[in-house]
Structure 1
């Protein structure tokens, strides 16, 4: 069976851990050459893992919310490999769980800078490179079910991810006739670097079996499950998917809050 990303070059941010690292390994296994970005040194470990598995990867420590750093990622792909086909704007921060009345403008601004300005910068620079090359391509942004409705994240985080969902819709229109597709993935609870403290605490208390129990699949996700969806959107398998925000959340966002009905009870 042919590799789904054979001959393609992909940028992935937030590649030091979680969904970014899992996607790097999955993309490389399907033939992609990679430019990996992350704010932490862990991005180099991801690149080494790709290389040890027989793939090609360049690692850069960058800030995904700084224009010069995003430009550097795109330039590196073009200089190192001579092309760009896929850009996965995956980097993000949680911003904590502080409420509307506790948040400062500075904290709110920082969450928006990384989570919303960062993906916009990727669309701006990777999108232009893809459009100019005339071969089409795919841009993927990590949003969240927190951007769909309340209850899955703090106020700043949720607002930023709602912005990402709208960004991909607008960007798909702005890149009309370029054959560059722009889509978002909306993860539910997933074990990543961002959520690791929650998972570690639950395991310490012996209640990790309760994580993700609010969705119909009754469990949390692993990064590899999100990476599979990113691979689909990066590949030609999704050639007619554009301007969409795909929830990958075990069904969490399929329902409004309800009281679970027991056998023999009447629904209220």
Structure 2
């Protein structure tokens, strides 16, 4: 039986690395993001491009998310895994300088998007046979320890941890499992600036260690291939030299 995964934010970074790793592992993929040309690049990097369905859309749009899952059902007839990867950060500025629009944009992408996708995935998981499936949420070490001037991002990542735990609990009776992967320092467009210099709690700006995003993709593929009677609730992967334990 084919294994089918939806990846949001599949146009770059962790989403792209995960698509490549899952394709190598034999998964059929549904790649979802706002930039179609970047989704096509991801598709062409996969081992089996013909097993990748590209859907352009926005995780903050309920209509768009419903269409994503409907097209997945029509194409493959089932879903085995959802990776809620799409996300963004706000400018690293003091909270008093943040606008409500900036804060709400982060909440919509980082929290409302995973909620909408999780809701639709759970509906599919409960209705299909055999029943069940796996959800992986892209969290952050900010779900535990914030960076300076990161209130919107940190707030949403704390909330995603709550969504992860609630989904794991409520899905238990239906063979639905949920994981949060907390990533620190993967070499992506979002994090690349940290290698040049990142603001520390003591006011210093220092270069931080990064690691290749492919290692996150391989981790996603490993968790995805676990049987559904095995749950990884949280998984931390970060650069060895990253200032997290002690934050300095």
TM-score scaled by structure 2?
0.87
Relative to structure 1, the CA distance from residue 222 to residue 152 in structure 2 (aligned partners, 3 Å threshold; closer, same or farther) is farther
Would you identify which runs of 4 or more consecutive aligned residues in structure 1 move more than 4 Å? 52-55, 251-254
1:233: how far off? Answer: 2.0
Cα distance per residue 1:39-76 (max 9 Å; x no partner): 113012112222x6455101111111211111122111
Alignment partner of 2:237 out of 226, 240, 248: 248
Q: Secondary structure at the match of 1:65?
A: coil
- Which residue does 1:264 correspond to in 2? none
Is the contact between residue 23 and residue 227 of structure 1 (CA under 8 Å) also seen in structure 2? yes
8 Å contact from structure 2 (residues 181, 235) kept in 1: yes
Could you tell me which residue of structure 2 aligns to residue 81 of structure 1? 76
Residues 146 and 153, structure 1, Cα contact 8 Å, conserved in 2: no
Q: How many residues align?
A: 237
Q: Distance in 1 between matches of 2:24 and 2:247?
A: 40
CA contact (8 A) 1:16 1:40 kept: yes
- When the two chains are superposed, the root-mean-square deviation of aligned CA atoms in Å is 2.2
Structure 1, unmatched stretches of 5+, are 1-5, 203-209, 213-218, 259-268
Q: Which runs of 5+ in 2 are unaligned?
A: 198-205
Separation in structure 1 between the aligned mates of residue 214 and residue 227 of structure 2, nearest angstrom = 18
- From the superposition, tell whether residues 124 and 54 of structure 1 become closer, same or farther in structure 2 (CA, over 3 Å): closer
Matched with 1:140 is 136
State the secondary structure of the residue aligned to 1:176.
Answer: helix
Shift of 1:102: 0.9
Structure 2 counterpart of 1:171: 167
Which residue number corresponds to residue 221 of structure 2?
Answer: 231
Task: Determine the structure 2 residue equivalent to 1:121.
Answer: 116
In terms of Rg, which structure is larger?
1
Q: 1:69 to 1:253 in 2, by over 3 A?
A: farther
Contact 1:31 1:55 in 2 (8 A): no
